[in-house]
């Protein structure tokens, strides 16, 4: 079974631009979560999509948005890029959404390294 794939792997943008990152989950997985990893803050939850609906959202500004398609593939968009947006963006897929009382393993992709100049 193919793992989670993320494209592109590396990206360089300048301040003020926007960027779109893509994630293809493991076949059959319908939950996709996005995380931002920076040296100072570690991994921080951005949002989760399940069956094309955003189910959960972390504490990030509205410049960060996402969507999920009917084939479960997901995209994340960051508008008006700032220097502080430079980070590794990780996508994780799971067979079921994040919910209380249970845990379904999340499988992570290799990430997209975004550098904002």
CA distance readout (Å), 41 to 37, 57, 99 = 7, 17, 24
Q: What is the largest CA-CA distance in the chain?
A: 43
56 binds other proteins (CB under 8 A): yes
Question: Whole-number minimum distance, CB 33 to other proteins, in Å?
Answer: 7
Q: Which residue, 11 or 43, has its beta carbon nearer to other proteins?
A: 43
- For the chain, the distance separating the N- and C-terminal CA atoms, rounded to the nearest angstrom, is 37
25 binds other proteins (CB under 8 A): no
Q: Which residue, 28 or 101, has its beta carbon nearer to other proteins?
A: 101
Label residue 65 exposed, middle or buried (CB < 10 Å: 0-12, 13-18, 19+): middle
d(CA 88, CA 110): 9
Q: Which stretch binds other proteins (CB under 8 A): 11-19, 64-72, 74-82, 97-105?
A: 97-105
Q: Which residue, 72 or 106, has its beta carbon nearer to other proteins?
A: 106
Binding site for other proteins (CB under 8 A): 4, 33, 35, 41-45, 48, 55-59, 90, 92, 98-103, 105-111
């Amino acid at each position: 079974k193919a793992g989670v794939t993320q494209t592109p792997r590396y990206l360089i943008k300048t301040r003020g631009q926007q960027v779109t990152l893509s994630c293809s989950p493991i076949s059959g997985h319908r939950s996709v979560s996005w995380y931002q990893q920076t040296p100072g803050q570690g991994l921080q939850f951005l949002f989760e999509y399940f069956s094309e609906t955003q189910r959960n959202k972390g504490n990030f500004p509205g410049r960060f948005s996402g969507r999920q398609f009917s084939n479960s593939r997901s995209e994340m968009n960051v508008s008006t890029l700032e220097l502080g947006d430079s980070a590794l963006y990780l996508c994780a897929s799971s067979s079921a959404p994040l919910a209380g009382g249970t845990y379904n393993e999340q499988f992570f992709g290799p990430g997209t390294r975004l550098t904002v100049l």
